[in-house]
Amino acid sequence: MGDKAILTEVLEASRLTEAYADLTAKQIINELRHVTTDEPSVRYAAMENDRAELGEPEDARRHSADDGRKTYTVDDAVEHLGFGKFQLKLSVLTGIAWMADAMEMMLLSLLSPALACEWGVSPVQQALVTTCVFCGMMLSSTFWGKICDTFGRKTGLTASAIVAGSMGALSGMSPHFYVLLFLRGLTGFGIGGVPQSVTLYAEFLPTAQRAKCVVLIESFWAIGAVFEALLAFAVMGTYGWRVLILLSSFPLIFFAICSMWLPESARYDMASGHTEKALATLMKVNFI
């Protein structure tokens, strides 16, 4: 509505309403953006970044409407690619990340009774195990978001998975309760960045499938919680809670290794000015 109001004011002020009556708002904006005169021209600043074409220099972009060449934005390319093999593989990999997240959360309810039996910790100390994990997640949310916006979605996601998986495995070898608290807090710090997998996933999904796929990914969280309960039933009575912690951290380590395969988000590359990388990523996705 804001765009429509602005265009109405511009057209009425210049008395060009009848001349532009058959054009849409987007076409009018495109015409106004390509006016090249010595006089100040009308610019629609909100579309400067969104309409940057793949692989096209800034100076050539100004004349793209005049030479008849057809250009595409990142959103246009993602819509054209649709939902294929690459998106299916990315769905499974993102689902593994959510499974690993759920397993670490479910582990907390299974760990406290075992610690009470082995170390004789009080109920308050048992609650501290859960509190440390969630404090780590709370403190790291903004941190991982900044990392992903600065260095890329893939870099932040891989780093957070490595931190969570390695600290989780090390916590299974804790010699003392307070060492366990510290390591579980670092595990939570890493887990805070795992939801970035959904951000990367959504940026490769066409609009028609985006909402449906993101919601379906959450079903992997329930699968991970059930799997953790079955794993505890099979392992904890025989091998103890240390082995359970080690096995529970394996999905995060596995995801960290598999995330090396992930390409960087083409949208992030475009926002960072790396148009050639964005084009190469979309070309790679097209041939998977």
For residue 244 the two structure tokens come to 């359970």
Q: How many residues does the chain have?
A: 288
Segment 56-91, tens digit of pLDDT: 455 545 544 444 556 667 777 777 777 778 888 888
Distance CA 197, CA 210 (A): 14
Segment 1-17, tens digit of pLDDT: 544 444 444 444 444 45
Amino acid, res. 81: L
Question: Which DSSP string do the residues of 4-51 spell out, in sequence order?
Answer: HHHHHHHHHHHT-TTTTTTS-HHHHHHHHHT---SSPPP--GGGTTTT
Distance CA 266, CA 84 (A): 17
Q: What is the mean pLDDT of residues 194-214?
A: 82
For the cut 90, the answer to whether the pLDDT of residue 184 exceeds it is yes
Nearest to 253 by CA among 92, 99, 86, 90: 99
Amino acid, res. 52: A
Predicted pLDDT of residue 195: 84
